Amino acid sequence: MSPPSPLIRFVHVKKRFGPKVIFSDFNLEIAGGETLTVMGASGIGKSVMLKLLIGLIKPDAGEILADVQRIEERGENVAYGLREQFWNTMTEAEIQARVAQALDLVGLPGIQLMRPSDLSGGMKKRVGLARTLALQPQVILYDEPTTGLDPINTARINHLIRGIQRSLKVTSIVVTHDMGTAFSVSDRLAMIGRGRVLMVGTKEEFKATTNETVHDFITGHAPETEDVASLLSSS
CA atoms of 50 and 30, how far apart (whole Å): 13
- Given this model, what pLDDT does residue 163 score? 85
SS3 (DSSP) at 46: helix
SS3 31: strand
Give the torsion sign (CA, 175, 176, 177, 179).
negative
For the chain of 235 residues, list the mean pLDDT of each consecutive stretch of 10: 73 95 96 93 90 90 75 48 60 79 81 77 82 80 87 89 86 90 94 94 94 88 55 51
| Domain locations along the chain | 6-70+181-233, 80-136
Here the contacts of 156-160 (C-beta below 8 Å, separation 24 or greater) are 156/107, 156/122, 156/126, 157/122, 157/125, 157/126, 157/181, 158/184, 158/185, 160/105, 160/106, 160/107, 160/126, 160/129
Radius of gyration, CA atoms only, the chain: 19
Q: What is 6-70+181-233's CATH topology?
A: Rossmann fold (3.40.50)
What is the spatial distance between Cα 194 and Cα 235, in angstroms, rounded to a whole number?
A: 5
Q: What is the pLDDT of residue 68?
A: 55
- Identify the pLDDT of residue 222: 60
Q: Answer whether 78's CB lies under 8 Å from 98's CB.
A: no
Q: What is the largest CA-CA distance in the chain?
A: 63
